[in-house]
Structure 1
Amino acid sequence: MNNSTQLFPPLNGTATTTAGFQYFPQLVWICAVLITTVFGTFANVLLLVTLCVYKPLRQSSSCPLIIHCIAINLYMTAITVPASTIPPFLGPNFDLPHNFCRYQILFSSAYPLTAFSESLLALHRLSAVILPDVFRSITNRKATAIFIVLPWVMTIILNAFPVAEVGFKFIRSKVTGGCAFISTEGSTFHMLLYSVFVSYAPTAVMGLSYLVVLVKTSRDLKRRRSSRNLRRRMEISRTLFFSFLWQCITIYPILVFLAFFGKQFSTNLSLQLGIRWLTNSYSAINPVFFWASSRLFQEGAREVFRCRCWMRLKQHSAVGPHGEGMNKEISITAPTRDRSLRY
């Protein structure tokens, strides 16, 4: 394709593979994607509801940012992954709308959006540990809104380049019918720069931030073993760190294969499909790591299934000015000796 190097080469780039051989792996692939998508949609909805209604999780100052990240994961699972999976399955002979690939990046914008949102979440939790005075100033509604809006602004700016076909663009693959990045100037520099901003830089920020948070919190716990809030901070940070590790497992294999095993990768259809499924499964399987690594999220899910949280929310909304709802507000806003209350 204009002798340009693709960031994501077309599935089954060799013409020698028979149609029958292509069909079975692609059928298995689409079935795996559908199963993962259905599971991930329900899992992310449950996780989102748990964060919204379970009190011990709602008390965390990072809760709105975590909810934002999970909401993006839900969008990725239910919208982005199917939108990027169906065209390759339909094949190159199926007529897609004009400029479908050019504007597909707007539908798949959840990928950089997820990276930027989770990076800011990591920095938010890092500031609570190393810059407590700054952290107190970024826990109000205005600061939280900035943390939520900023990733969207960054994503819109970043995705404007391929839509305007500056440096690189999305085109339809004549082999698979899907969409692929190609360079518009015969150089991979712009695509490499895109990968740095979307993949390498965010994961570096998340990794360093969570390592510092875990080490610092672990040391604080040795001095203050009875602090319930420090234990909560440790548990939530550990869960987010496991989520970060899962993200690395899903996004880095395809980058490694393209960088060091490009020829072998472009001729192995099953490997391509497996790696693509892994890349697309991050948002769907991510809730599993929340439940597997955190007792808080486990208890929250149980409360949701038992409908206890809904009953408590109704009770809070029904109490008078001197009832439980007012006491809850006072307990959050009143001064406290434990400065690690809302992490």
Structure 2
Amino acid sequence: MRLPIPFGRRSMTSLDILGIGNAIVDVLARAGDDFLARHGMAKGSMALIGTEDAERIYAAMGPGVESSGGSAANTCAAAAALGARVGYLGKVADDALGQVFRHDITAAGVTFPTAPLSGGAPTARCLILVSPDGQRTMNTFLGACVTFGEADIDPVAVAGAQVTYLEGYLFDPPAAQAAFREAARIAHAADRKVAITLSDPFCVERHRDAFRAFVKNEADILFANEAEICALYQTDDFDAAATIAQSEIGLAALTRSEKGSLILTATTAHEVAAVPTQVVDTTGAGDAYAAGFLAALTAGRELAECGRWASVAAAEAISHFGARPQADLKALVAK
């Protein structure tokens, strides 16, 4: 377990948060359970798909909304909306969807310096089907995302960011794992923090040993939901998984949907209530939670207040269609 590094007030010459993740254009549309069944989808899951499936599903989807997405990118956009100084690293292609991604994330107030991929795979896209009960089923074509590697790490940005936030979905390619380790090396050499989100039990199951080693030896802050943390530590008992996390990492924020969240340090535990809201679409709930937490943390707030900001941001995210904030997050957390 790494020793905690204290936070100070933000410097105007550096970033609060630098996100690194899969740069994906989200395509969201509503779909019933019958649509999911016809296309062999498990409701509420995330599946990686190839070019043919991406084209087939996209053609069958109803009217949708296209915007820059990806888990860490969503977190960055919401954190910027909360007033944090935010940057993002991720790979898109030099194509139309790549331009959509770059425009959207820049317009959200996030610096995006990564050069586009030229002559290779197209920009990634995630086809998200939202059921009437708000559950989202994701079909992801990774495209240019998988080319992200150590050469795409901006050492100046990492060394200047209070927190470098790593997306578990990007952990799959070996080149990206190497990039994560290089980012952690640079961050810690500059006395900065490294945060990682486990993203999905699917990711954890594929790379459990590598994830667990990274969480224990490289990360300072862990974000995970109940299913993800249990998958990491191979238990069905959330309390047992939380106890292990508390012993292995300096700071963990574990979410439990309507049960709220649990924020753990080596010596403390804070239970944070969920903010009641009407669930419309759960897409991006965890991303928004991390945004609220990190925006508050890098602004010097106490952990309980970080959890409150996180819960407010998550509630806003699930109250409407799409992952990006539609209400004034600053006003919501000020209430």
Fold shared, TM-score > 0.5 on shorter chain: no
Of structures 1 and 2, the larger Rg is shown by 1
Q: Which TM-score applies when normalising by structure 1?
A: 0.25
Report the structure, 1 or 2, having the larger strand content. 2
User: By percentage of residues, which structure has more helix?
Assistant: 1
What TM-score, normalized by structure 2, do the two folds share?
Answer: 0.26
